[in-house]
Structure formats: structure tokens, C-alpha cells
Amino acid sequence: MDNFVFLYLACILAGFALINLPLAGSLLAGIKPVTSLIGILTILVFSLVLIFKGIIALVGK
């Protein structure tokens, strides 16, 4: 199994953390849409990588 699987899972969790980052009432409240977009893209990319790795492992290549 690939050694980076736990790193991919950590990246997915970091994406969820970016989405749920409480920025209301701070000076950084204006970048909330940017952090949400980065979080969503991070979750999608690393989830797709994990799905791809799983399919490759099932096929046996």
C-alpha cells in the first residue's frame, strides 16, 4: 500500500478545517470565500486521488 495514504487523509481533514474556519468578526472575514474554495478543492482533489489509488489497488497493477 502507498505510504502517502495517511497524508492524503490529513489533507482532506485540512480541507474540512478550511471550510469550517471561523473568520467572522475578524480582519480576515473578507477572505472567507477564498478559504472555502481552497478547502473544497482540496477535499475534491485528494478524495479523487484516494479513489484512484483504491481502484488501482483493486485491479492489482
Q: What is the pLDDT tens value at each position of the chain, 61 positions in all?
A: 567 899 999 999 999 999 999 988 889 899 999 999 999 999 999 999 999 999 998 998 6
Cβ atoms within 10 A of the Cβ of 44, count?
12
DSSP designation for 22: -
Collapsing DSSP states into helix, strand and coil, what is residue 43?
Answer: helix
36: nearest Cα among 52, 54, 16:
16
* Residue 50 grid cell: 484516494
Matching residue, cell 495514504:
5
Give φ, ψ of 11 to 5 degrees.
-65, -35
Residue boundaries of the structural domains of the chain? 5-59
